[in-house]
Structure 1
Amino acid sequence: MKTRREEDMEIVWQTPANPPERHDYIFRNGVRYVRPYYFEFICHVKNRWAGKTIVDLFSDEFKGRPYDYYVSAVKSGRIQVDGEMVPVSYIVQPSQKISHFLHRHEPPVKAMEVSVLQKELDVLTVCKPASVPGWLHIEFRVSS
């Protein structure tokens, strides 16, 4: 049985082309939560990666996770090549598309408005809560 919090935190799908929308956030007691979501990291095989197994490529180039994680991710289909599941012994070729699917839970941040301090032609200066990441995505229109 789901708890109330799990019901509020329904999982959504996000990609760079499908960023979070207002309804993907939950505001509670002055804190903003992002609903857990699935995200597809995409890269293309560089020439220097060609000839490596898919698992060796990930363990050599993306050191944030142990070798066994990448073995499991390839076997389960969380890492795919050109949209297809491949064996852990698969040898990658230049320019192939590699997708790594992750289930993400972002830490909560203070639910404060981000205020614009100064707007110039090429620079937007904002004041944001310290808990909001520096890569905050802000949309604005420059009036002509």
Structure 2
Amino acid sequence: MKRQRDEQEKMDIVWQTPANPPQRHDYIFRDGIRYVRPYYFEFISHAKNRWAGKTIVDLFAEEFKGRPHDYYVSAVKAGRIQVDGQIVPVSYVVQPSQKISHFLHSCRHEPPVMALNVEILHQESDVLTVCKPASVPVHPCGQYRKNTVVGILQAEYDLAPLFRILPLFGRDE
């Protein structure tokens, strides 16, 4: 177990935003398990009217109480919290509707899944039928972003964007 953690800590960390689909090099396969390389993820919010007039640090400290005030000061200074894609000073005053991004690493170690293929059974211009492995969630949710059927299809088959995936039960061999 320690060896696996040491190997994962040596992996390069990548930036991931909703606009960047998963790539083949995002995955590591070991002993029948599919792992995702650690990455920073961009959480995006648009400033609500009640946030207007607050400094970026005060806004985060008041709205997102899970971290101390000092964390938000250092995150803004390091550029991990941005406004409209720009690094701002800790004294920056937020305006309504601005895009606020928070890049986080700590919660983006996705759980591994079984390293089974997502097999494409049939493909038409607007319909894709696949055989989904049991351990892989379909859509990004919770701790999963890349270790999903959608993420794997994007990485392995360059199929993006994908919308409305419906499960089908049973399969004729």
Q: Quick check: TM above 0.5? A: yes
Give the distance between the partners of 1:37 and 1:71, measured in 2 at CA: 22
1:18 aligns with 2:20: yes
**1:122 aligned residue:** none
**1:109 aligned residue:** 112
Give the distance between the partners of 1:128 and 1:114, measured in 2 at CA: 11
**2:7 aligned residue:** 5
SS of aligned partner of 1:48: helix
Instruction: Give 1 or 2: higher strand fraction.
Output: 1
Give the distance between the partners of 1:88 and 1:66, measured in 2 at CA: 15
**1:40 aligned residue:** 42
**2:98 aligned residue:** 96
1:138 aligns with 2:149: yes
**2:129 aligned residue:** none
> Contact between 2:35 and 2:112, CA under 8 Å: does it hold in 1?
yes
Q: How large is the RMSD of aligned CA atoms in angstroms?
A: 3.6
Tell me by how many angstroms 1:46 deviates.
0.7
SS of aligned partner of 1:72: helix
Give the alignment's TM-score, normalised by structure 2. 0.60
**1:28 aligned residue:** 30
Whichever residue aligns with residue 53 of structure 1, its letter is T
SS of aligned partner of 1:5: helix
Tell me by how many angstroms 1:75 deviates.
1.3
Give the distance between the partners of 1:68 and 1:49, measured in 2 at CA: 19
Tell me by how many angstroms 1:134 deviates.
7.7
Distance 1:26 1:11, change over 3 A: same
Tell me by how many angstroms 1:92 deviates.
0.7
**2:62 aligned residue:** 60
Structure 2: give runs of 5+ residues left out of the alignment.
1-5, 119-131, 151-161, 167-173
**Aligned runs of 1:69-80 on 2, under 5 Å?**
69-80=71-82
**1:120 aligned residue:** none
Give the distance between the partners of 1:40 and 1:132, measured in 2 at CA: 21
Between Structure 1 and Structure 2, how many residues are aligned?
A: 133
Give the distance between the partners of 2:94 and 2:9, measured in 1 at CA: 40
Distance 1:132 1:108, change over 3 A: farther
